[in-house]
Structure 1
Amino acid sequence: MKNWKLLTLLMAMMLLVLAACGSKDETKEEDKGATTDNKPAEEQNEEASAYPITIPGSTSGENTFEEVTLKEQPKKVVVFDYGFLDTLDALGVEVAGVPQQSVPSYLSKYTETTYVNVGSLKEPDFEAISSMNPDIIFISGRQAAAYKELSSIAPTVFVGVDNANFMDSFKVNVELAGKIFGKEKEAADAFAAYEAKVEEIKAKTASSEDKALIVLANEGSLSAYGAGSRFGVIHDVYGVKAADEKIEVSTHGANASFEYVRDTNPDILFVVDRDAAVNPEGESGTKAAIENEIVGATNAAKNGKIFYLDPQVWYLSGGGLTSETQKVSDILKAFN
């Protein structure tokens, strides 16, 4: 009887030991496979290994932007460039502050009160930005004059595209967004889809002899843009032939008149309506101004080839994954 009781006691002790060992093994496996934020350890290690990240300095015109080193992934993000905001939005990256005054309608969620209004495109609200204590600020040409003061608040990175080297600079920006925010695969896939769209339009323009002219309409006046300009992607990347190959490259375009449009006689006329871009709720008189007797003498008017490009995409948010894809679709309409 005593032997039976002793055997029972020993078996119970062994079961307790085995249970404890099993619990420790499970805990080790859980610790090994996941972290406190439920991400696999491998993903955590990959994110950690990406930092620190050094973003090279750059120049744009007369402006110089210094090298920036990030020790960890930014959490509180301020974005002044709507094109880069477009890209971050497409990649599913959260931002904290944007200039809300002229946000394109397709990005209208950023006008909600959950986002901090950091001023206008040309006049940052330094007090509002400073009170946010952001981890990073992204800017482009419109904020170049404010770079020094912004960079004193937080690391400030220039993400404006280079119109003279558009595809490369756009790709650099997309890859940069992916690298900073752990979205490298998503960024690569999205850019590949954009490149496929570009190849589609290049195939169309290569077989067409139509020559195009690009004008910006602003309160009844016109500016013409050619290769290397802010709208030069039409010629430089898409391969659309230019009706005037001697247009001077400048930020605000070359002064033009309706008589100039008539004399240039484009087969296709692309119009960017600035009035509609900056005042989308108001009425624009651009279409009525453009389609007059003088312009009516051109091949473009005679053949129904005057195209009004999406004003917000072309004037406000160029250089984004969504906007650049939309741009291709706009120009494809002229060749279908």
Structure 2
Amino acid sequence: MKIKQVYQLFLISCLITILTVACHSSNPSNSISENCRMIQHKAGETCVPNHPERVVVLGVPTLADALALGVKPIGTILYFNASNAPSYLEDKLQGIKVVGRGNEPNLETIFSLNPDLIIMMYPNQGSYDKLSQIAPTIADDWFGFDHWKEHFNFVAKALGKTKEAQKVWQHYEQRIQELREALGDNYQDIEISVVRVCCNNLASDVKNSFSGIILNDVGLNRPPSQNSVPGGLAIFSEELITEKLDGDIIFAIVDDDQDSEKAFEQLKNNQLWSKLKAVQQGKVYPVNLSTWRGGNPLAADAVIDDLFRYLVTVV
């Protein structure tokens, strides 16, 4: 008798649950299709609002992608101080809450913003499970700055801005073509070397880096020593300066901090540095790290500005 009563209570409980769900949604599948879109991403499948209005992004490339598409996020992670933002972002950060630094999002801050969509650059950035409890959360398969074009398209799809994305790419292609025409045949036999001075390392952003992809799109040549490597960044010792860095023109990517500036000054005092063709010809151009490693269309536009500035007038 006791077992029978327990069984009856179980059936009643199940019935109440079914009725409750039915009252809240007479047709759940229609409700989902009307209010959101299913997005496949690295961490699984998520129903994303058709028109998200309160977006939190966990990465500067994602932030700039959204801005390029006409969407201003309510929160973002930054890798730099907002007061020291690169020029392509300095007038666009007002009103956007900083929700963390580097790869460390602050869950409490994100929760307080009441977002309706969170976009992560990769699944292991913070806690996906906890973030997805705050709002629908999607994670891209970001594996380096050579992925910047694919990441932009991922963000555009998530935001429902694929038409706007086409216009962004049209603008990029137009600027690339304008630069190609301005350069003409003047750089057919000239090699462009890209040096990165940062974090106690001497390195090169090679062909498959963010800036390397732009240089390739323009049709500019790179030294054979700066061919593609996994991640787009080749690190080497100072003994290999002449072997790895030599080129007719050098773009030196230097961070806006005292350590990087000091490292660049030390590099210029190295005897091997003075043997480089670009150094001897006075064609070494320092450029901003946050811009030349930006990984987004707004940064790409700024890199193209630098190429116009330094290459169109230096021949």
- C-alpha distance in structure 1 between counterparts of 2:295 and 2:104, whole Å: 20
| Residue equivalent to 1:138 | 119
- Is 1:53 matched with 2:34? no
Among 74, 90, 98, the alignment partner of 1:96 is 74
Does 2:221 match 1:241? yes
The answer for the alignment partner of 1:14 in structure 2 is none
**Distance in 1 (alpha carbons) for counterparts of 2:61 and 2:198:** 22
In structure 2, the partner of 1:261 is 241
Q: Which residue of 1 aligns with 2:265?
A: 288
The C-alpha deviation readout for 1:280-331, integer Å capped at 9, x for no partner, is: 9x9822442332332121111112221222222123x321x32111112223
Match of 2:306 in 1: 330
Q: Alpha-carbon deviations, 1:26-78, whole Å to 9, x = none?
A: xxxxxxxxxxxxxxxxxxxxxxx996333332xxxxxx332332243112111
Q: Distance in 2 between matches of 1:335 and 1:53?
A: 45
* Pair 1:192 & 2:173 matched: no
CA–CA separation in structure 2 for the residues paired with 1:270 and 1:139: 31
Q: Secondary structure at the match of 2:261?
A: coil
| Alignment counterpart, residue 253 of structure 2, candidates 272, 295, 313 | 272
1:85 CA drift (Å): 1.6
Partners of 1:231 and 1:148 lie apart in 2 by 34
Does residue 214 (structure 1) correspond to residue 201 (structure 2)? The answer is: no
What residue in structure 2 maps to residue 22 of structure 1? none
Report the alpha carbon displacement of residue 197 of structure 1 after superposing the two structures with TM: 1.0
Distance (whole Å) between structure 2 residues aligned to residue 224 and residue 210 of structure 1: 17
- Give 1:166 shift: 5.1
Q: 2:289 aligns with which of 311, 316, 331?
A: 311
Aligned partner letter, 2:99? V
CA deviation profile, 1:77-130 (whole Å, cap 9, x unmatched): 111222232232244323211225624244346665x44331112111012212
Residues 56 and 76 in structure 2, CA contact (< 8 A), matched pair in contact too: yes
TM-score of the superposed pair, with normalisation by structure 2:
0.71
User: Matched residues in 1 for 2:273 and 2:72: separation?
Assistant: 46
| Alpha carbons of structure 1 residues 126 and 170: separation in structure 2 relative to 1, 3 Å | closer
CA distance 1:149–1:331, shift in 2 (3 Å): farther
- Structure 2 gaps, min length 5: 1-32
Q: Distance in 2 between matches of 1:132 and 1:54?
A: 23
When the two chains are superposed, the root-mean-square deviation of aligned CA atoms in Å is: 3.3
Query: 5+ unaligned residues in a row in structure 1: which ranges?
Result: 1-48, 58-63
Task: Give distance in 1, aligned partners of 2:184 and 2:136.
Answer: 42
Q: Structure 1 length as normaliser, TM-score?
A: 0.67
Moved >6 Å (runs of 4+)? none
Distance 2:184 2:148 in 1: 18
1:100 and 1:224 map into 2 onto residues whose CA distance is 24
SS of 1:56 mapped into structure 2: strand
Letter in 2 for 1:56: Q
- Identical residues among aligned pairs (%): 23
Q: CA deviation at 1:263?
A: 2.8
Q: 1:83 aligns with which of 51, 61, 75?
A: 61
Q: Are 2:69 and 2:156, in contact at CA under 8 Å, matched by a contact in 1?
A: no
